[in-house]
Structure 1
Amino acid sequence: MTADRLLVAVFAWPVADVLVRWGAELGFRTVVVEPDGERVPAGTPDLVVRSFAELDRELAAGTADVVVTDHHRDELGELLRDALARPARWIGVMGNPRHEGPHVAALTALGVPEADIARVHRPIGLDIGSKAPAEIAVSTLAGLLADRNGRAGGFAHPG
């Protein structure tokens, strides 16, 4: 495990809580970006920042994985635009893969180039049928680790 790995969970949400706790166990430095101070859980303000601008120094290395945990928030487009403007290693949005993610329309409306929109991964994580926050977090973290290690994830192993 190396200290240069940063996991940024966007929006204080039950999945973000698990990502932050378990991500730390997997060697990530963890932080939550939550622009709405009313949504920050009690006892966690040291893990929460309000914007990507507060993370510029940490993101400069290009080793951060950004995971948007709630694709229904009004701030989705602005926060993704801000993440895309920085050298994040990987950016993904949770959501149902059977529907186009609302991030596409939100980013298009903000004038974000198509090539940048295409950098946003969706769906994310391993396909394990996740429903509960902890299951979604496990799937997401396993997918991030597989990607970081150059692996496809899942049970198919090269011969």
Structure 2
Amino acid sequence: MTTEPDACAVAHGEVEEPPAERTLVAVFASPVARYLLRYAADLGYRAVLFEPDEARATDAPEGVEVRTTAPAPGPDADVVVTDHHRPELGTVLQAALATPTRWVGVLGNPRHPGPHVEALRALGVAEPDIARVHRPVGLNIGSRTPAEIAIATLAGLVADRNGRPGGFEF
């Protein structure tokens, strides 16, 4: 017998869903990061922006924790790097991979090689750790705008957390 509330009852507001222990760390302030963090908070994530450049660290939605030093995400955390052109890409990913974080991903076009692979190899990161980095991230919904990319990313994270493939297959 399960103690989880019925999904239908939760959807109709008849019972409250117990809060989940989960964190979303969006790495680098970007338009996608703003939407990711805003929507993540709505989904019950503790939303954290990690932006090592203090000048850029001011661009976060209200209520989001902003860090200019690398957080140490725990096993409840999902880390999404929102800009693969930044010079800190390798060191930021190396730090995330050194933690027990649940999931690490980098946004980017799947038709182009991920620059994170060479950046991590140059830092001596082991191949099994490099393979932990998801790219592309999110569900394939044809996202074009920052808001759509954020929705696809979060839908993919929710599907992954729930052991589901995403899409219309049940």
The two structures have a TM-score, normalised by structure 1, of 0.91
Equivalent in the alignment of 1:19: 36
Distance 1:48 1:88 in 2: 18
Equivalent in the alignment of 2:83: 70
Equivalent in the alignment of 2:122: 109
Find the residue that maps to 1:143 and give its secondary structure: helix
Could you tell me which runs of 5 or more consecutive residues in structure 1 were left unpaired when the two chains were aligned.
none
- Count of residues in correspondence between the two structures: 152
Question: Does the 8 Å CA contact 2:24/2:45 hold for their aligned counterparts?
Answer: yes
Equivalent in the alignment of 2:54: 37
Q: CA RMSD in A?
A: 1.5
Matched, 1:50 2:68: yes
Distance 1:106 1:139 in 2: 26
Map 1:132-151 onto structure 2 (within 5 A): 132-151=145-164
Using the TM superposition, give the Cα deviation of residue 42 of structure 1 relative to its aligned residue in structure 2, in angstroms. Answer: 5.1
Distance 1:43 1:118 in 2: 30
Could you tell me which runs of 5 or more consecutive residues in structure 2 were left unpaired when the two chains were aligned.
1-17
Equivalent in the alignment of 1:28: 45
- Which letter maps to 1:63? D
Question: Does the 8 Å CA contact 1:2/1:28 hold for their aligned counterparts?
Answer: no
Distance 2:130 2:60 in 1: 34
Answer with 43-52 or 5-14: which moved more.
43-52
CA-to-partner distance for each residue in 1:21-61, whole Å, 9 max, x for gaps? 11000010000110001112357696210132xx33xx23x
Find the residue that maps to 1:98 and give its secondary structure: coil
Correspondent of 1:80 among 93, 97, 101: 93
- Which letter maps to 2:30? W
Using the TM superposition, give the Cα deviation of residue 99 of structure 1 relative to its aligned residue in structure 2, in angstroms. Answer: 1.3
Find the residue that maps to 2:47 and give its secondary structure: strand
Using the TM superposition, give the Cα deviation of residue 2 of structure 1 relative to its aligned residue in structure 2, in angstroms. Answer: 2.5
Find the residue that maps to 2:104 and give its secondary structure: strand
Larger radius of gyration: 2
Identity %: 61
Distance 1:106 1:43 in 2: 27
Matched, 1:5 2:18: no
Question: Does the 8 Å CA contact 2:137/2:153 hold for their aligned counterparts?
Answer: yes
Distance 1:94 1:7 in 2: 14
Find the residue that maps to 2:140 and give its secondary structure: coil
Equivalent in the alignment of 2:14: none
Which portions of structure 1, spanning 4 or more consecutive aligned residues, are displaced by more than 6 angstroms?
Answer: none
Whose helix fraction is larger, Structure 1's or Structure 2's? Answer: 1
